[in-house]
Amino acid sequence: MWAAWVAAIAGVAAAFIAAWQIFESRKEAKRQAAFAHIREVEERLQKVWHISPTEARQEILDFYCHKRADLSERAGYYMAYLTALDLLVFACDTGSIDGNIATTWLRGTLQRDDPTLEFIGGLQKACDDPHSFEYLGRHLRHARQLALNTERQK
């Protein structure tokens, strides 16, 4: 009788340890994924440091409004940077990565940015896709609202 109880307790303990190991493995995988996404954004950011965001935004809007036939390399780099940011925010929102790491990094990097938010709205209209940069746009609207609330409290 005691042997059965001991075996049952050992089985429960083994199941608990296995579940804990799976939980910790998933947690570590999400942590690593967060850093991989952040590295991707940082790599793309390096390519846009030297360009004028205003000019790149205008080139992109002109392209989608059929006012130009192609995108310059710098406009392509800017689109790639925004895409990486959008994917990072998407991964946070879906729980695919460690949201604490990513949102902490985002708060330090991507605060209120009205020109980019206006660009996203213009791009959505130009390409008739309200989901273009949807997650990044949502993040920027939230950042703007926080900034406005903070200004009102002063």
- In a structure prediction context, what are the per-residue pLDDT tens digits for the chain, which is 154 residues long? 777 777 777 777 777 787 788 888 888 989 999 999 999 999 999 999 999 999 999 999 999 998 989 999 999 999 999 999 999 999 999 999 998 898 888 876 677 788 999 999 999 999 999 999 999 999 888 888 877 787 777 6
pLDDT for residue 120 = 95
Task: Write down the pLDDT at residue 62.
Answer: 94
Rg (CA), the chain: 22
Tell me, what's the pLDDT at 137?
A: 92
User: Helix, strand or coil for residue 128?
Assistant: coil
DSSP code of residue 147: H
Taking CA atoms, 85 is separated from 43, 73, 125, 136, in Å, by 11, 19, 20, 7
Task: Give 51's DSSP letter.
Answer: S
Tokens of 8: 């049952």
pLDDT of residue 7: 74
Spatial distance between the Cα atoms of 3 and 63, rounded to a whole number of angstroms = 75
Instruction: Write phi, then psi, for 126 (nearest 5 degrees).
Output: -65, -40
Q: What is the dihedral of CA 53, 56, 58, 64, to 10 degrees?
A: -140
The pTM of this model reads: 0.81
For residue 46, the model assigns a pLDDT of 93
pLDDT at position 118 is 93
pLDDT of residue 32: 92
Per-domain boundaries in the chain: 30-153
